[in-house]
Amino acid sequence: MTSFFSILQESGLTFIALLLGFRAFRDLSRFCKLVFFQVLVYSVTSALGYAIIYWQSANHVTQNNQFLWNIHLILETTLLLLAARLFFTTRWKKDLTVILWLCFLFMYVIQIAVNGIWIYSHFTDLVACFIITLISVFVLYEIFLKTEKQWYRQPEVYICVGLLVYFASSIPYIALMGYLQEKQPELNTIMFQVINGVLANLRYLGVAIAFWLVKKNKFAPAYE
């Protein structure tokens, strides 16, 4: 069963990001508000996931909460892409975001229909990582191109850097996950812990910094 220290390690920065987001919510841009809701969705999903595993363990039922994370996958991807679409000012980038979301949705529906919701949607997760990585690069490019303030004062920069660190770094692991689980399960476990314990914390550290900046400076972004 997952230890309390492990839960704290995985969720500590997420909780901090939520608290800072609550404090700064009224001053958040539309982009940041949707990221806040994504963090909230992740927190609720994580809490429910631990509760389900605890109940299954206590009742000697096979532990499987994957259906919850498959639901989380579509909510997370949709919220992040919607945030990017609201952020972009050019039509073709807005349209590209919708097209990428439809591609993701197509893959999601196909994989759930074939494998069911109780099995990890491996290929869909991989597609989502590629899409969010690409969109994060576009958002960063637009920030550096169109805003006059220093980059380090832009909350969205920290959010997008965190997303890049997490999703871009996850791509090789997710692509090789099946092979690693079959050939080198110990290495697969270590990689999973790195993704969840290190990269996820770096991602939500970026979100926490962004929300803190908004509350500290209380400025409206130049693109809204």
- Residues of the domain holding 90: 7-217
**Count of domains for the chain:** 1
pLDDT at 4: 43
CA distance 103 to 216: 38
In this model, does residue 67 exceed pLDDT 90?
yes
Model pLDDT for residues 174-202, shown as the tens digit of each residue? 888 878 877 888 888 788 777 777 888 99
Within 10 angstroms of residue 21's Cβ, the number of other Cβ atoms is 24
Within-domain flag for 224: no
pTM: 0.90
Q: What is the mean pLDDT of residues 8-21?
A: 82
CA distance 140 to 30: 16
pLDDT at 10: 60
Q: What CA dihedral angle connects 193, 82, 20 and 161, to 10 degrees?
A: 50
Within-domain flag for 2: no
pLDDT at 152: 83
Within-domain flag for 222: no
